[in-house]
A = this chain, B = another copy of it.
Amino acid sequence: MMLWTAAEPAPNPRRVNIFARAKGIDLPMTELDMFKGEHKGPAYLAKNPRGQVPFLELDDGRVIAETIAICRYLDELHPEPPLFGSTAFERAETDMWTRRVETQLGTAVGQAWVHGHPFTAKMFTQVPAIAEAARGTATAAFRWFDKQLAGREWLAGDRATMADIALLTIVDFADWIEVRAPAECADFAAWHGRAKARFV
């Protein structure tokens, strides 16, 4: 098994690293040089046609890409501690929260990065209106998560899950590009402290 990945602080490599560490899995990994576009070369495109890292190559050559899918696979191989859930309901609940994280906040942070950051200006045709709308969407999402986290420790109530890892990695990357929760989001800030203490 080989995880083809890249150096942190890239958020997707970091997400799988955090998950593997929380599981106590010592994952063989090779870092590709994203800045040289190594992961988009023909050898790696043949493995993951999306041209992204990380992806997991099994010993028989089969590949699993997409961070949540990689973690889901590792979770089935190493069930303890459970980070997706131990019952059908818990697994669905984790999936629900992970999707809420990705669709409400993850997409917006990604668009703020692609369309609004000086670093990506050379790589993409930036549309400032997209970045501006994305920042507004992110702010609304932070407020929504703040409200949901009132009176609970983790997204899925009393269980720390993959959804918390997904949110943590997005939030820390968002901070790096100066997309941040409004100061009054106290329940969100408290969750962030717990998530860092638990996973980082």
| A residues whose Cβ falls under 8 Å from a Cβ of B | 49-50, 58, 62, 64-66, 68-70, 72-73, 76-77, 88-89, 91-93, 95-96, 99-100, 103-104, 107, 127, 129-130, 133, 144, 147-148
Contact = CB atoms under 8 A, between A and B. Distances in A.
A58 B99 contact: no
A-B pairs with the 3 shortest C-beta distances?
A: A73-B92, A76-B88, A69-B95
A50 B96 CA distance: 11
A69 B49 contact: no
Contact of A66 (B65, B99, B129, B133): B99
A178 to B, nearest CB: 21
A89 B68 contact: no
Copies of this chain: 2
A25 to B, nearest CB: 14
8 contacts: A49-B147, A50-B100, A50-B104, A68-B99, A69-B99, A70-B92, A72-B95, A103-B107
Given A49-B147, A50-B100, A130-B133, A95 B107 contact: no
Contacts of A62: 89, 93
A72 B92 contact: yes
A65 B96 contact: yes
Contact of A95 (B68, B89, B100): B68
A176 B91 CA distance: 33
Nearest to A125: B133
A145 B103 CA distance: 21
B93 A64 contact: yes
Contacts of A127: 129-130, 133
